[in-house]
Structure 1
Amino acid sequence: MTELRELFLKKLSKNEKIAYDLNHYLAENPELSGQEYNSVKKITELLRKKGIEVEDKVAGLDTSFRARITKSHEDKPKFGIIMEYDALPEIGHACGHSASGSLSLLAALTLWEMKDSFDATVDLIGTPDEEVMGAKIPMAKAGVFDDYDSVLMIHMNSNETLPAVHFLALSEIKVSFKGITSHAAAAPWDGKNALNAAILTTNAIDMMRQQLKPDTRVSYIITNGGQASNVIPGEAEMIINMRNSSKFDLEDTVQKVMNCIKGASIATDIEYTTALTGPEFEDMNINDAGSEAIKMIMDSINLPYVEEKQGQATGSSDIGTVSYVCPAFHPMLAISDHYFSLHTKEVADRMKSDSINGVISQGAKVIGLFILKAIEDPTLLKEIKEEFQKSTLAN
């Protein structure tokens, strides 16, 4: 390990207690997505107390921020450390954002302590509302991540540490069908049954499944099918959720689903409109060059890991969108020795336990050492950037 990276490991302990205390505060005082006002106040106060410059309300989002940890000359690399801090309803930090955000802060503060030892720009980027609307998506569209050589963050996992994690591209639409209401016994011929259009859409989707790729997921619910059994429903509504391991394949799936809706509309003589229920999430654009470097970092600090099993990805995250703007990395760290689901009380309880402190320190090491390795090894940074450029041109 180089002297610069050895220095990082020595400096880490100076701010560990700050990170541990922040995790405890966030875990005990969880705030919902987009409402993290006290959380972001606490975080930015810690940064400003250190003398670090902080920009509030990045991209117009009330609970976002960007802190300039170090500043370099214009021709030097620029890195972003992403920090999350939103919680879930009723169950608090059951996704582990209190710890993942705290380890991002620890990595940033440690790099700030050694800011005179290297020449690169490092920003700590506070990204709220991951759980609901995915605030990284409007931040990416606003250009927040445009000029970074790479950005990274770390998420919690149950019993496996993963150097890289795939996420599924996601699109969800609401379909509103409009027909004509009439009495189902007295004059059914005067009506146009909107529920029939919804049911025919579900049948068409189910028949289409045989031709969908194995990594494609389509699910749906009918949210409005009428109010009385003796009335032809003039209105119906459904929500269709679509996921795929590739955003490009997802576009094809969406078009196929739209054809199902259109065909059902024609067959039943029903009008329809569609609207997105929220932002569309892109898949994770995996960068192998950077992921291999992360493995090397994990090896150097004796952090055991496993490769993500092929096809294991089941969830979606707003960092997927960021990964198509600049090289982005999202390892996951084990927080126990046995499996359990995320978004559960067990995760929230572990966030309140001192047992998470070691995970916070290990995660900060991975982030900080990765950035320093990329600074010291221009060839690595070049490979990361070249692979990223090829990936965005592939389709």
Structure 2
Amino acid sequence: MASSVSVDEHAARIARMLAPLLLTRMTEELPLEQSLGRTTAEDIRSAVDLPLFRNSQMDGFAVRAADVVSVPIALEVSGDVPAGHAVPVVLTPGTAIRIMTGAPVPSGADAIVPAEDTEVVLGRDDDLSGAVVEIRRAPESGAFVRERGSDLRRGEVIVPEGTRLAPRHLAALAAAGVVFVKVLARLRVGVITTGAELVQEGRPAEFGQVFDANGIALAALVEEAGATVSYRGSSNDELDSFERVLAEAIAVSDVIVTSGGISKGAYEVVREVLQPRGAEVGSVAMQPGGPQATAIVDGVPVLSFPGNPVSTQVSFTVFLRALLRDAAGLPQIPTEPAVLAAPVRSVPGKRQFLRGRRLSDGRVEQASGAGSHLVAGMARSDVLIDLPADAVDLPAGADVTVWTL
């Protein structure tokens, strides 16, 4: 990397590094109950008709419409068909058969009279032997009958390729008897944080130590972008410590993301380990997130972000989020135009990503200072306000571009 490159140049470099992973489009087969939120890798066709058989839409009585043209009329009850009834039933002309919702419609019947339009005038509901039912409303032929295949025919597509599976899709697939689905495989992303000062969650922070916010932030960002966290580890500032966690991550990951250890000072363990392996380490003309590095180690792309927590999150959003979402088949989160609610000031020569929030009228305002350590300010934000490198002072009402967080 040159001493300083633009955001677009660095983004293009990362896209080239990950291109083989995106072009391969690996797939996997999952049990249906584990596929929520995953993206289908092919059209899923039905092996059956839906409904599977002709069935009743209502609790009531199955009749021939021609037998009940004139109402009220009393008909002998010649049978009873509950849901799940496995033996075909034939309706004798001039009679009615009690039927439950979802039960197979008897052969010879062409209409269902809802229970509320009937009354058993002879016999009991719990014993229909010799019962007579009075039909009080004449149905049309086909009334409340669900014909076989009226929802879906065998061989038709239930869910097309490229669909992100929601509960409604799972219901349709389950109804058609689908047990396994082929989906796009999630990219496996290893997450490594660095710094002797880091303390993992659940342990007290001593003087000079900080809690490892980047580990959990990156893992959450990876999952939200449709990938899976294949490894999460932390290294101190010793070379052998980073070498060890890097090797562990490479063994189980398609991509590795690191935070910290790439600046020009001392104890920059990521730079010291990766630069001899051909890493490009330098600066991107942006703020926050200036220090950046990329490498390919044993065939695995390694993206190294700066260690300040806001810089880490901004770097992921700008450089990696869209690529992971594309690999997972998820819709992109586009940048959007917005209008400033208040003036902002930027540093000339660097593309700024100010933390901002949307107001109720649709305008945006800066929600935090520019410091890359202001993690609470980041939490109060819902957008990044993207200011070009040549912007210095922008007044209220100025047009800007925002990235949704």
TM-score between both structures, scaled by the size of structure 2: 0.26
Higher helix share: 1
Query: Which structure is higher in RCO with an 8 Å CA cutoff and minimum separation 6?
Result: 1
TM-score of the superposed pair, with normalisation by structure 1: 0.26
* Structure with larger Rg: 2
